[in-house]
Structure 1
Amino acid sequence: MKILVHISRIIVGALFIFSGFVKLVDPIGSQYKFEEYFAEGVLNMEFLIPYALIFSIILIVAEILLGVMILIGYKPKTTVWSLFLLTLVFLFLTWYSAYYNKVTDCGCFGDAVKLSTWGTFYKNIYLIAFIIILVIGVKHIKPLFGGKIPKLITFLSLGIFMFIVQHVLTHLPIIDFRAYAIGKNLEKGMEFPEDGSIPPVHDFMLEDAQSDLAPILLKKEKVMLVIIYNLEKVDKNGFPAIKNITTKAKEKGYTVYGVSASFTDDLILAKEKHNLPFDFLFCDETTLKTVIRANPGVIILDKGTVTQKKNWIDVDEIIL
């Protein structure tokens, strides 16, 4: 039993740390998943949507911290029961998603690893089996270090995790697992895989009043896109910086467009109010949220390849 507990401890700890880390570097992605779950057509708890980011941060930090705690053996009873209860929540959500075909990507591993809804549910079945072993054999879980070292490691880890959260919310994800990451070519991302599945880049259209300009813009060498996925939620403090960088970009021969899912009339008013030197194109809001975790944010394209991405607070770092 002792050996089985140690094996389960390593598996559970490693899985929770990995799962937590890939979401820790991009908590806004988890925020969007919570918003999907809270929506009317899923759990019908729309009053919780404004708190989705808080929920995501608490869940992510708890997940990765519990992984650390079980590995180092800090407060084993509290840790094991917390893991059990947290996994029960995951189990319910993944079952609900699979059975009712809601939120088809639960985001359990962020954008790093994609599993089917039933695949994710069965993963949690195996996971809770390992945790039950830990519950039964909790007396065999001993601290790896003596004295106050486990406590020190736990609180030091918590501080590091909170620092990472603050950093990525202020700037952009430390690691970008999405199809719009720096170095990715969007045209290649639109190609259908041999298995016939949906391509990584889909629904990426840059529409004006007449047509989709994406095929044209993805051929150009110097393209700057200002992403404002929702004008009502935009950080208006970013407009002066956006105006400054886009003005400089146009002077250096860049093709510059704003891209948004908001209404055209509202965008025209915003352009006039903030004296923005570019016109807006339309794109799906979900797609824009995937392109960049900023509102507003800026991406630079060179023949369809993403060369730079910045939150508005960092646009002065863009190399033109």
Structure 2
Amino acid sequence: MQWIKSKNILTSSIQIVVGLVFVFSGLMKSIDPVGTAIKIGEYFSSFGIHSNSSVDLVFSVALNLFETLLGIAIILGLKPKITRSIAFALMSAMTLLTLYIYIFNPVADCGCFGDAIIISNKATFWKNVVLLSFTIILFYNKDYWYHWLNEKGNAFALLGGAIVFISFNIANIRHLPIIDFRPYKVGSDLMELTTTGGIEGEYIYKFVYQKDGVEKVYGIEELGNLDSTWVFVRDEIEVIKEATRPLGADFVLIREDGSNAIEDLAYQGKETILVIAPDLTEIQPKTLSEMLDKCPYPLLLAMGNTADVWQDQRYKELEKRFAEIYFLDKTTATTIVRSNPGILLIKSGRIVDKLSGNDFISVLNKGVINSNSTGLNYPLYSKFNKFGFVGILVALYVLVILCGGIIRRIMIVKCKKEK
């Protein structure tokens, strides 16, 4: 009897741990679905598969939702025979995939927890080995799973979870991620971001020379003592400490004359509204026209395209309407803002607000920005306005599930006492 009780406790504990890991992993990815889509695109490219951003985004949301719902199903104890098989199959596949990534290193990091927690490929593999071990225990102990609700209640809970997390993904796509895990977050100082934080590398340079068939290695200070009979073969570099660049080193706004505008923006005391367009050709011209028409402040544009884009008649008229136009690396642009276009509000060299194109137009339509005001109030669009509805959904969902489980447990205890 004691053995069965211990086995129940062990299985239930592992059930909660594994379920929470899946939910946490799905949640971190769903905070930034566009970022997860970029990582999926990297995986496709490493295997020689060509895809586009729309397909990657669909895969991103599907993966986030699948992981989260699987985690919820495990925690609830929904249909253990099916759930255990799915969990075991998924962890087996992911362990093999991360073993391949660990050995061949096709991507810098797995993206398991989005940009929230970045771990090495080695750590990712061993993390999956541990999770696989846990799922094996769950696989062979399905009869000891804890059931939070009855079968019908669990099914409704899973359906409710799907609705909540789909809404959460959509909110983070339509707006910018609710939590910004990247360097270019609100409050960041441009000069600090782009010029500080890097570390100089330490290297030892060695040179291999040959004479009479014998090779010898010399340091830089020894080269002056060599005579002309020694023949250079190759050089070798011993890395003592790798150099690192500042976190925002790639944030370079190039003018047509080749100069970098970051320093000017950093020391500009007044408010600047910078429109960032990773790909101008994917934005409807009327969207940009609406921004230019309704915003009383001059707009600057940083785009991931070359100047050839202005040859397109749809955008030609817009070129002269922006106060200034810069060129920005497309990948960096997508890293800074997860929407196309996105808006940075800069004051005295600091990012004071960050909006998606949709939210910026909403702000303009509401008259939050007007020519009569002496300045802008931050934030222009609060997080509650963006995510308030989803937050209420999440709170109600958790409350109903908790109450349902507690009520069921009380009823079970009551029935046992009556017997």
| TM-score when normalising by structure 2 | 0.69
State the identity %. 30
CA contact (8 A) 1:76 1:142 kept: no
Structure 2: 5+ residue stretches without partners? 1-6, 200-240, 370-375, 377-419
**Residue type matched to 1:18 in 2?**
F
Give, in whole Å, the separation in 2 of the partners of 1:16 and 1:267: 46
Task: Quickly say closer, same or farther: Cα 1:59–1:24, change in 2 above 3 A.
Answer: same
Match of 2:105 among 101, 106, 121: 101
Asked if residue 19 in structure 1 is aligned to residue 4 in structure 2, the reply is no
Calculate the aligned-residue CA RMSD, in Å. Answer: 2.3
Task: Quickly say closer, same or farther: Cα 1:98–1:268, change in 2 above 3 A.
Answer: farther
Match of 1:233 among 264, 282, 304: 282
Give, in whole Å, the separation in 1 of the partners of 2:188 and 2:51: 37
CA contact (8 A) 1:80 1:131 kept: yes
- Deviation of residue 198 (structure 1)? 4.4
Match of 2:293 among 229, 244, 251: 244
- Deviation of residue 313 (structure 1)? 1.5
SS for the counterpart of 2:114 is coil
SS for the counterpart of 1:148 is helix
Give, in whole Å, the separation in 2 of the partners of 1:92 and 1:188: 41
Asked if residue 259 in structure 1 is aligned to residue 308 in structure 2, the reply is no
TM alignment of 1:171-250, pairs within 5 A = 171-190=175-194, 191-192=196-197, 197-208=244-255, 209-221=257-269, 222-245=271-294, 247-250=295-298
Task: Quickly say closer, same or farther: Cα 1:172–1:235, change in 2 above 3 A.
Answer: farther
CA contact (8 A) 1:5 1:140 kept: yes
CA contact (8 A) 2:23 2:72 kept: yes
SS for the counterpart of 1:192 is coil
- Deviation of residue 147 (structure 1)? 5.1
Task: Quickly say closer, same or farther: Cα 1:109–1:165, change in 2 above 3 A.
Answer: same
Bigger relative contact order, structure 1 or 2 (CA pairs below 8 A, ≥6 apart): 1
Give, in whole Å, the separation in 2 of the partners of 1:145 and 1:53: 33
Task: Quickly say closer, same or farther: Cα 1:205–1:93, change in 2 above 3 A.
Answer: farther
SS for the counterpart of 1:108 is coil
Per residue, is there more strand in 1 or in 2?
2
Give, in whole Å, the separation in 1 of the partners of 2:253 and 2:327: 6
**Residue type matched to 1:241 in 2?**
E
- Deviation of residue 104 (structure 1)? 0.5
**Residue type matched to 1:265 in 2?**
D
CA contact (8 A) 1:229 1:289 kept: yes
**Residue type matched to 2:301 in 1?**
G
Task: Please name the residue that 2:415 is paired with.
Answer: none
Give, in whole Å, the separation in 2 of the partners of 1:79 and 1:36: 29
- Deviation of residue 27 (structure 1)? 0.6
- Deviation of residue 211 (structure 1)? 1.4
Aligned length: 312
Task: Please name the residue that 2:128 is paired with.
Answer: 124
Structure 1: 5+ residue stretches without partners? 251-255
Task: Please name the residue that 1:253 is paired with.
Answer: none
CA contact (8 A) 2:33 2:169 kept: yes
Match of 1:283 among 328, 331, 336: 328
CA contact (8 A) 1:223 1:302 kept: yes
Asked if residue 32 in structure 1 is aligned to residue 38 in structure 2, the reply is yes
- Deviation of residue 236 (structure 1)? 4.1
